[in-house]
A and B are shown apart, each in its own frame.
Chain A
Amino acid sequence: MKKKTERVRANLSFNIIGAIVLVHVLFGVLVSFLGFASFTEAFKREYETTTYHMADTATTLVNGDHLKAYLAGEETEEYQRSKRNLNLYCKKINVSLVYVIDVDTSDYGSFVSVFNSVNNEVDDSSYTEWELGHKRNTTNDEYRRKYRAIYEQGSVCETVYRLRPGDGAHPHITTMVPVKDSAGEVRAILCIQRPAREIREARRPYLRNIALSTILLALVSSTVAALFIRKQFVAPIQKVSDEATRFAKENTKGEPLGEISKFEEFARLAHSIDTMETDMVSYVENLTTFTADRERIVTELSLAGKIQEASIPNEFPAFPDREEFDIFCTMDPAREVGGDFYNFYFVDDDHLALVIGDVSGKGIPAALFMMVTNILISDRTRMGGNPAEILRFVNEEICAHNEAEMFVTVWLGILELSTGKLVAANAGHEYPAIRHADGAFELLRDKHGFVIGGMEGVTYREYELQLAPGDRIFVYTDGVPEATAPDNTMFGTERMLAALNEVPTGSPEQILKKVRSAVDDFVKGAEQFDDLTMLCLEYKGAKAQEETLMSETNKTELTLAAALENLDTVQSFVAEALERAGCPLRTQMQIEVAVEEIFVNIAQYAYAPETGDVTVFAEVSGDPAVLTLRFSDGGIPYDPLARQDPDIGLPAEERDIGGLGVYMTKQFMDELHYEYRDGRNVLTMKKTL
């Protein structure tokens, strides 16, 4: 991380400084070049002008009228004088050559020399003086053009530069001016060859100065730029970068960066980093809390799922010692917990209750509702009664406390194992599927009552069904027919029946597995949307157990001490007999009152002040079922029935509690009979259940 930051810094400084140096150097080169060019131009013009003046002055030393005569061989005194003056002049003005030539104007291809003064000292040259009349050919076209300009076009001055002569000579310029006669005709050309050394010598320091100052300027400005960039750009970026690195490593809120630069962009960047850190830290905190909450919820949910699973029987075979039937159930919640449930349990030895239910909604609310409903139904069922009665009771209970306004559909059946008689009631639940021994599974379109929890005061109708050995009943929740394939078609009861009828004679476990695999094939891996619950029972017919059941359970006798502390024992004894017969709650309580009143009477008065025993006989028989209760004791003879009934119309102040117990017994029991036989008081009571 650290290395990377330094590389960024190096790049920034060096790249920008490098760019600045390069730009300055290029600029310097350009300025030098332009300056050099214009300097050279100006210098040349000045050089040219002074040379022209030199040449123009020299023409005054020559008499233009006599030139032809000189060439004709008249080396007059005047010629000698002009020659001497030109030689002197040539030395005086420090030029290499001063010469006068007469050019052949027919083609300017040659000329003859008139005067020729040589000064080899000036430029360390080695020219030899041309004699009068010395003829030469013109060396190139440039000279030819210049000669023509002077002779024909009236030019007053022409200059030829030889700054880089190729013939080994030193750099020089040659300036030409016309030599005219007194009539103004051009008679010859006077040329001055002057060394160009001064031009080069003047240019060199100029070039050096300009290059030096450019480089110096580039260095100074680069340094200033570098310092500025480092302070204003690199340092703030370094701060931001360090803080970002620290934050990435520690994930804690640091000192705010604050005002790190006067530039708006950097200030914004620093502010953004500060804001980001604050936001990130609080976000991480939120996330941590949220994750912890979520983990807790997940744990609790999974525990809730286990509790729910354990609240219904889920070990199969459930009753391995019962040969009359085989049962199998499955419950697959769509989420961790579900709103579906099944249940089965013995109401008494001969009656098996079967329950399946489906709570509206899913998840935790549905699961809580399911638990309540399941417990209410099973508790109420064990108290005895018919399915319709039970559902009605459960509905009232649920409606009384239904804050969430949820409801549950329930199918409840009670199967009498000795006869195969199934009594069932349906509170808005799916139609059961029945298979009679030799047929196929078919839907039983039973009478539906209203859902439980929907409305108070609802009553339910029940129906009877005779199961023969080999018959099977299949109940399920809507998760089965409403299982949905990816193309939104539903499994439906048709496919369900088809799956059932593939294994009509299979065990309940095989049947449920078949339906489940058919559903799985159908939905093709689509997410399970609803809870999926099934129960299947096969009735195998009454067994030999039946007889012992009858003789053992419905007719019993109990002898014990006639003492108040035995009241509960007697009550449970009678209750046991009633439970096996499936006695309604209301009737059972009336019988309990009678049992208590008679037993307490015997316990308190029969042997007083001594003690003795009492024999209680209880039997349920016949159709409709009738309970016969008999109390016999060996105490003093006493007929409780002979006692006069109390006046129950009297106001409280005049009422006496005496005789009320026997009175209630008389009211609640259908038949009462007393006799004193073999030295014992025998009281017999009958009650239709």
Chain B
Amino acid sequence: MTIGEHRDGSALTLAPEGRLDTITSPELEKVLKESLDGVSELTLDFGKLDYISSAGLRVLLAAQKTMNRQGSMKIVHVCETIMEIFEVTGFLDILTIE
């Protein structure tokens, strides 16, 4: 999968494109692991993300936990279908979505 990356000081924006499923989630997980050091403001841009499964949710949960310790995390441009998944799984309550 393609993951757009933009860094501005301690603010990091990641924009995964396409599907975040069992196969592709490890890629995002790897990027997060490598780049979260010193980041206090993480933005995930889901504008080009069409699909997410529990594997993707797992990565989001891990990222949220990390960022709770070192700053803040928000998700932007979430499409309707993914929003529904967040809702069904209760992730709406633990994620900051704009």
Contact = CB atoms under 8 A, between A and B. Distances in A.
B22 to A, nearest CB: 5
A663 B88 CA distance: 9
Interface of B: 21-23, 50-51, 53-55, 57-58, 61, 64-65, 68, 80-81, 84-85, 88-90, 93-94
Contacts of A663: 89
- 4 tightest A-B CB contacts, nearest first: A648-B90, A661-B54, A657-B58, A652-B94
B53 A661 contact: yes
Interface string A584-602: 0110011011001100100
A16 B3 CA distance: 93
Q: At the interface, is chain A mostly helix, strand, loop or mixed?
A: helix
Contact of A567 (B22, B84, B88, B90): B22
A597 B81 contact: no
Interface string A321-345: 0000000000000000000000000
Contacts of B90: 648-650
Contacts of B64: 652
A660 B54 contact: yes
Contact of B22 (A564, A590, A651, A657): A564
Contact of B80 (A565, A586, A652, A668): A586
Interface string A628-651: 000000000000000000001111
A653 interface: yes
Interface string A215-229: 000000000000000
B23 A593 contact: no
A657 to B, nearest CB: 4
B68 A668 contact: no
A597 to B, nearest CB: 6
A648 B53 contact: no
Given A596-B53, A657-B58, A657-B61, 18 more contacts: A567-B21, A586-B81, A586-B84, A589-B81, A590-B84, A593-B53, A596-B21, A597-B53, A597-B54, A600-B22, A649-B93, A650-B90, A653-B65, A660-B57, A660-B89, A664-B88, A667-B88, A668-B88
Contacts of A586: 80-81, 84
A662 to B, nearest CB: 9
B23 A592 contact: no
Nearest to B88: A667
Interface in A646-689: 648-653, 655, 657, 660-661, 663-664, 667-668
A596 B22 contact: yes
A648 B21 contact: no
A567 B93 contact: no
Contact of A651 (B21, B80, B94): B94
A568 interface: yes
Nearest to B94: A652
A649 B90 CA distance: 6
Contact of A648 (B54, B68, B80, B89): B89
Nearest to A568: B23
Contacts of A600: 22, 53, 55
